[in-house]
Amino acid sequence: MIRHLPKSSKRLVGRWRLVAMSGWDREDIDLDEPGFIEFAADGTGQIRFIAVTGGLDCRATERDGSPGVEFTWEGVDEGDQVSGRGWAVLVDDDTIEGHLFFHLGDDSSFRARPSTGADELDEA
């Protein structure tokens, strides 16, 4: 069953460039390619940073009156199966902030900005 994100959360739809994570520095985030998190209008998404790639299952939410998304995810990290959960909230039109958790492992807050498709290295 495909769930569409409600209107309030549609502002999060698209690819967001990970510009900062509390658990890793910028060089690590972009190890293989620029890190990103992406939310699709159908309630799915994807994430990539360091050697981690994963698919998202998203649910719309609100945090302190701002549109957001809560998600579970699963994927691979250097060939090992990994999974977890997380959330993101729209801070303003140019920034989302959230937190990513690995099941039985690390966790990290993150900040992201809209992806331009270029290999941008703007400071966070």
Angstrom distances, CA of residue 93 to CA of 19, 38, 72, 89: 15, 15, 24, 11
Domain that holds residue 59: 7-114
Assigned domain for 119 exists: no
Assigned domain for 44 exists: yes
pLDDT tens track, the chain, 124 positions? 446 655 666 789 999 999 999 999 999 999 989 999 999 999 999 999 999 999 999 999 988 888 999 999 999 999 999 999 999 999 998 999 999 999 999 999 999 999 986 645 444 4
Assigned domain for 14 exists: yes
Predicted pLDDT at 24: 94
Assigned domain for 84 exists: yes
Assigned domain for 28 exists: yes
Which of 74, 111, 79 minimizes the C-alpha distance to 96? 111
How many domains in the chain? 1
CATH of the domain at 104: 2.40.160
Assigned domain for 81 exists: yes
pTM: 0.87
